[in-house]
Structure 1
Amino acid sequence: MRRFGRFELRALLNKSARSMLWVVYDARLGQELYLCMPRVAPNSAAAMEHWQKMAQAASRVQHPNLAHVIEIGQVEQWPFVAYDRALGETLDERLARQSAPLPVEAAEWVCQYLEGLAFAHEAGHAHRDVQCCTLIIGANNQVRVLGLEVAQEVFPATVDFNTVTRRAVRESAAEDVLCVGLLLHRILSGRPVLEQNDLQAVVQQMQPLGRELVRLGWETPHPIPDPLRAICNRASDRQARQRYHIARSLLRALDGWRTTAASDQGGPIALLMDKLQRIGHLPSTSPNLSRIGAGLERQHSSTLSALVLQDMALSLELLRRVNLSLKQNGAPVDGTVLNMQRAIAMLGLDGVQQAARALKPWPGPLSELQATMLRSLMKRVHRAGQIAQVLRPAGYDGEVVYLITVMQNLGRLLLQYHFPDDAQQIRQLMQPPEPTEDQPHPQGMTEQAAAYAVLGCDLEALGAAVAKHWSLGEELVHMIRRQPPEAAVRHPSNDADLLRLTCSLANELVDALTQVEARRQPAVEAATRRYARALGLGLQDIKQALNPETPPPPTFDAQQPPALVDAPRASALRKRLTGGATG
């Protein structure tokens, strides 16, 4: 019988380039243990002392997702860390005895693993050899991290460990996160990554160290949702700068998808709803509007409407209040009001003043740079609304079209205000990476894929969830979803689709105008071709909409009623959105 000191060696569960994991029997305790030890023994007495010191410190880090250490010891020149075998089975053992887990279950396991790993990283420790065998699954799917600080960095025997430990931990922590992404890839794909069981060997073959590209294939045991696929692929992106570098970042994206998949109000949506309750949706850009109404009682409602529409936050707040009031009073499902004049008439000047006072003044909790980014986004959204007004079909209210265009950007606006760091991370992922010989013309992520990779859900889902929370009705929730950029644009079958496509085109045109000059005109022409047949518009119509000089685009007319501005025809949808009766 093979022995290691007093331990009886029963099974070698894993052997990587950096560590080994054994199942042993301890006669003194009368139980089986996991025994973790480095693959290479410390090369000096100082190195052994440093190993023992770091392992002891790691054992004192307590977290529900970190395995409790039974013993730290040494047999001859080989140190070890012992854990109770009763904690559960390794991921390798689980995958060997049952069919591939569902994606939600896989995400649950990895999220728990990341919880423990992130806590250890924040305590100043790294794992350095994340493998499938270091993920222990116990009763009730409780996951724990095994082997923390076992595979320590190997330094020359004469090195001063105190001067290099901090740098080594920081670099190793980023490598830990990469290996967790590979571990997720292994579970979802149902096969070893690059046909290698040792994830460290995979890292050495991946770019930029090697030449291999790791992406989740399409032949998987279960269909993989797009958000989860984007998260998994970003974790192992060929460009190191595109990957997750902090365990909390990967945890947040993965947990955001997992909780959103389990519930429509989970993950980032639940966090956003909490922020809406505490600090509102957007800050007011016009502080004097809290005293609105003075001297305007006898003016036409279009004058007050034009003033309110200058403040995006107040416009959204009035829509929220008036539609919530309609719902509370038992209005029909299709009774959504999306016209500012109608909203003001229903709430009255006192209601408008109350709404203005309820808003936080600019810039709210944002820093100067974050406020600049939000203001820039608001200007883009306002420009898109103006373009949509010019392009709108005859008979549709200009305010309605403008506000639908704004609402198509609701998720982006709320993200920039409430999660500015995430918004910045999404923009960075959308930037093309540095060109290489293999990929001389690389492409950045799409906005949807980048949002999946950062939040675990897309921005349309954020906006739709808030619109539902504001009781804006299913028809409007459909209209505020932009036309997907990869989907063909088909001829609209009803009023709602016609407005949705018109506003989507306006938003795509503004996105095209923000590109570098060489790509600007081709992007505008591409957007025009996409929508030309469905909306009956040509390039000349688009040029007129983009050029505010000849002729000037229609805007909110403060001198004459909207009935004189929009004369050609009135649709049933328009009457419902403006609060009129359907004839």
Structure 2
Amino acid sequence: MPDAHLSADQTPHAGSAAGVPLRMFGRFELRALLNKSTRGMLWLVRDPRLGQELMLCLPRQAPNSAQAMEHWQRTAQAVARIQHPNIAPVVEIGQVEQWPFVAYERSLGETLDERLARQAAPLPLEAADWIAQYLEGLAFAHEAGHAHRDVQCASLIINAANQVRVLGLEVAQEIVPSSSDFSTVTRRALREAAEEDLLGVGLVLHRILGGRPVLDQPDLQLAMQQMQPLGRELVRLGWETPHPIPDPLRAIGNRATASQPRQRYHIARSFLRALEGWRLSAAQDDGGPIPILMDKLQRIGHLPMAGTGLARLLQSSGLETQHGSLLSELVLKDMALSLELLRRVNNSLKQQGAPVDGTVLNMQRAIAMLGLNGVEAAARALKPWPGPLNEIAAALLGSLMKRVQRAGQIAQALRPAGYDAEVVYLIALMQNLGRLLVQYHFPDDAQQIRQLMQAPEPTAEQPNPRGLSEQAAAYAVLGCDLDALGVAVARYWSLGDELLHMIRRQPPDAAVRGADNDADLLRLTCSLANELVDALGLPENKRQAGIELATRRYARNLGLGLREVYQALQAPAGEAGASAEPGQPTSSAQPSALRGKAMAAKPDAADEAGGR
């Protein structure tokens, strides 16, 4: 082979004679070395027999025995039988002396290295599209029991229509002692090889977005060896890039190359799903995981109905005798029913032509407008606890619901004078709508998000590691943040623009600005309540500091101090919005002591509709 940088024992024999310009590998005329790594090579060649250009993939180390060669050929033949739009079809599998090769048509396209060398850096959306296509092919190969084992920029082939294919699957097979059972070794190493493939894909994404080789290494295998935990280098997307990188895509890229292996993607489909979620969300407002969530809402509802006692009461004839305030107390004890009534009443208002800001966010009004028959119909439409969840996922959802209910109670205790306790409770609940929906409809993704938020084990290089923020973890798993999911569903339910603003929690890393109106005041109050609940979930030695930090963030804008915050935290449960354990009977409740003042607001179309 004409590779001046390789020693004779590393390269196949070149069949050219001295003074002859053409260099040969068997019958192939060698045109150019497209890529070289520690594990493989990619050559551009001309095949005189076929009269066309091909790309030859070869390992850097030839199989070390007849049994190893047989295993290499058998594995390559199995890969060649895999058919997928994003996997390059094989033209030929052959051998020249001791060197095996796999041939592909040059007409499939150019390597990523060639594309990046001849054109300006692609936009992040285009880069994500290339990597998503590559992951489609790689995931299919992994599921068929094969790995790439040498992911490089040159193993990504792009044609003029921007279709991407995976090149060189299983060419760089592991060299093992000739006495080994190759099938056993391959099966055992497949999972590790697949995870290494995904790290390689992450580095390719960094190469595209960053505009330069990762760690200044064209060979991604060498870059991997320098990365933690094997080496000392940390690979994260910088800020001086050819194009600004959106935060969700940055989080996805950084997770793919995280210093802790447990934080990386372990399955190609997980990496692909995160990228697709962001791609579709960036391309259209309701893309990504949102259409999947909307489909699930249609089929199984938003949340399961938790209170069996309330269900029995709704089916009995005792509902007519309940006072409106007592009935709203009962409904607020069930999160799913509360949300269903809000959805139904506001959708009804929209159909009647009410303005978009005429949102009903008071349970007594909602019940009065829908009537008892409407409440019973809403309850019948909900699935009983725990819906399709298994026992563990149901327990996690129940725990999250209790945290959300506690945040609502704290928000009620902190609310400024003159605001309806039910309204404040429901805003605090809606600020957690995305979290609740992910836990119910995507429990595996919710678990991934929690794991990424946990700090990894300390190391000598990182004695005080930190987990990802909730937003970054959600980006890395879903491709969008949890608030975006909640807002999309609230918009789908025809809730008004003012409420869509209020249900976005204050970002934990952003300065808290003054409240210019009622909506801002309620949004900040409920955001503080949710941050206080998050602080209560910290380890005991960090809990007080978390409470004080949250209080300092909001103290000036809400006129609150630690005394008021601790009083709110000590307020007894059982007020408006308090809920029984999911799945347990609910008992009758007395009217809340906090319910008495109405939210200061001018009459709107919702009031007129309620009086019809």
Q: CA separation of 1:93/1:183 partners in 2, compared to 1, >3 Å: closer, same or farther?
A: same
Question: Is 1:354 paired with 2:377?
Answer: yes
The one-letter amino acid paired with 2:464 is H
CA contact (8 A) 2:256 2:264 kept: yes
1:327 to 342, 350, 353: 350
Query: CA separation in 2, counterparts of 1:492 and 1:478?
Result: 13
Most deviating of 105-114 and 294-303: 294-303
Question: Is 1:146 paired with 2:167?
Answer: yes
Give 1:299 deviation, angstroms: 3.1
Give the root-mean-square deviation of aligned CA atoms. Answer: 1.9
Residues 266-313 of structure 1 show CA distances to partners (whole Å, capped at 9, x for unaligned) of 111111111111111000002343451622324321111001111000
> Which residue of structure 2 lines up, in the alignment, with residue 308 of structure 1?
331
Q: CA separation of 1:95/1:552 partners in 2, compared to 1, >3 Å: closer, same or farther?
A: closer
CA contact (8 A) 2:139 2:268 kept: yes
1:518 to 523, 541, 566: 541
> Which residue of structure 2 lines up, in the alignment, with residue 453 of structure 1?
476
Question: Is 1:566 paired with 2:593?
Answer: no
> Which residue of structure 2 lines up, in the alignment, with residue 341 of structure 1?
364
Q: CA separation of 1:560/1:244 partners in 2, compared to 1, >3 Å: closer, same or farther?
A: closer
Query: CA separation in 2, counterparts of 1:210 and 1:48?
Result: 33
Question: Is 1:36 paired with 2:57?
Answer: yes
1:497 to 504, 509, 520: 520
Give 1:578 deviation, angstroms: 7.8
Q: CA separation of 1:560/1:130 partners in 2, compared to 1, >3 Å: closer, same or farther?
A: closer
Question: Is 1:544 paired with 2:574?
Answer: no
Residues 133-181 of structure 1 show CA distances to partners (whole Å, capped at 9, x for unaligned) of 1100013111000001100011012211122110122211110000000
Most deviating of 296-305 and 196-205: 296-305
2:130 to 105, 109, 120: 109
CA contact (8 A) 2:333 2:577 kept: no
Three-state SS of the structure 2 residue aligned to 1:69 is coil
Three-state SS of the structure 1 residue aligned to 2:46 is strand
CA contact (8 A) 2:319 2:372 kept: no
CA contact (8 A) 2:277 2:288 kept: yes
> Which residue of structure 1 lines up, in the alignment, with residue 72 of structure 2?
51
Query: CA separation in 2, counterparts of 1:554 and 1:314?
Result: 15
Give 1:440 deviation, angstroms: 1.1
> Which residue of structure 1 lines up, in the alignment, with residue 449 of structure 2?
426
Residues 312-361 of structure 1 show CA distances to partners (whole Å, capped at 9, x for unaligned) of 00000000000000000101121100000000001000000000000001
Three-state SS of the structure 2 residue aligned to 1:213 is coil
Residues 212-267 of structure 1 show CA distances to partners (whole Å, capped at 9, x for unaligned) of 11111000000000000001011001111111111111111111111110011111
CA contact (8 A) 2:87 2:137 kept: yes
1:467 to 474, 490, 506: 490
2:191 to 140, 165, 170: 170
Query: CA separation in 1, counterparts of 2:179 and 2:609?
Result: 86
> Which residue of structure 2 lines up, in the alignment, with residue 88 of structure 1?
109
The one-letter amino acid paired with 1:381 is V
Question: Is 1:264 paired with 2:285?
Answer: yes
Query: CA separation in 1, counterparts of 2:441 and 2:516?
Result: 36
The one-letter amino acid paired with 2:600 is S
Query: CA separation in 2, counterparts of 1:252 and 1:460?
Result: 18
CA contact (8 A) 1:56 1:72 kept: yes
1:204-353 map, 5 Å: 204-290=225-311, 291-292=313-314, 294-353=317-376
Q: CA separation of 1:329/1:552 partners in 2, compared to 1, >3 Å: closer, same or farther?
A: closer
CA contact (8 A) 1:339 1:577 kept: no
CA contact (8 A) 2:397 2:436 kept: yes
CA contact (8 A) 2:237 2:250 kept: yes
Give 1:105 deviation, angstroms: 0.2
Query: CA separation in 2, counterparts of 1:491 and 1:576?
Result: 26
Gapped regions of structure 1 (runs ≥ 5): none
Three-state SS of the structure 2 residue aligned to 1:72 is strand
Three-state SS of the structure 2 residue aligned to 1:11 is strand
Give 1:566 deviation, angstroms: 3.0
Three-state SS of the structure 2 residue aligned to 1:296 is helix
CA contact (8 A) 1:317 1:355 kept: yes
Q: CA separation of 1:552/1:119 partners in 2, compared to 1, >3 Å: closer, same or farther?
A: closer
Query: CA separation in 2, counterparts of 1:429 and 1:154?
Result: 35
Q: CA separation of 1:480/1:341 partners in 2, compared to 1, >3 Å: closer, same or farther?
A: same
- What is the number of equivalent residue pairs in this alignment? 578
The one-letter amino acid paired with 2:508 is P
> Which residue of structure 1 lines up, in the alignment, with residue 42 of structure 2?
21
The one-letter amino acid paired with 2:501 is H
Question: Is 1:534 paired with 2:557?
Answer: yes
Three-state SS of the structure 1 residue aligned to 2:29 is strand
CA contact (8 A) 2:418 2:599 kept: yes
The one-letter amino acid paired with 2:260 is Q
> Which residue of structure 2 lines up, in the alignment, with residue 156 of structure 1?
177
What percentage of residue pairs aligned between the two structures are identical?
Answer: 74
Three-state SS of the structure 1 residue aligned to 2:31 is strand
Give 1:46 deviation, angstroms: 0.5
Q: CA separation of 1:296/1:221 partners in 2, compared to 1, >3 Å: closer, same or farther?
A: same
Q: CA separation of 1:377/1:325 partners in 2, compared to 1, >3 Å: closer, same or farther?
A: same
Q: CA separation of 1:534/1:127 partners in 2, compared to 1, >3 Å: closer, same or farther?
A: same
> Which residue of structure 2 lines up, in the alignment, with residue 384 of structure 1?
407
**TM-score of the pair, normalised by structure 1:** 0.96
Query: CA separation in 2, counterparts of 1:570 and 1:490?
Result: 22
Query: CA separation in 1, counterparts of 2:270 and 2:520?
Result: 37
Query: CA separation in 1, counterparts of 2:592 and 2:241?
Result: 60
Query: CA separation in 2, counterparts of 1:244 and 1:378?
Result: 29
**TM-score of the pair, normalised by structure 2:** 0.92
> Which residue of structure 2 lines up, in the alignment, with residue 179 of structure 1?
200
Three-state SS of the structure 2 residue aligned to 1:360 is coil
Query: CA separation in 2, counterparts of 1:555 and 1:433?
Result: 36
> Which residue of structure 1 lines up, in the alignment, with residue 5 of structure 2?
none
Three-state SS of the structure 2 residue aligned to 1:141 is coil
Question: Is 1:64 paired with 2:85?
Answer: yes
Give 1:200 deviation, angstroms: 0.4
Three-state SS of the structure 1 residue aligned to 2:320 is coil
CA contact (8 A) 1:336 1:473 kept: yes
The one-letter amino acid paired with 2:601 is A
Question: Is 1:193 paired with 2:223?
Answer: no
The one-letter amino acid paired with 1:481 is R
Query: CA separation in 1, counterparts of 2:322 and 2:457?
Result: 58
Query: CA separation in 2, counterparts of 1:488 and 1:243?
Result: 31
Q: CA separation of 1:578/1:561 partners in 2, compared to 1, >3 Å: closer, same or farther?
A: farther
Query: CA separation in 2, counterparts of 1:277 and 1:12?
Result: 55
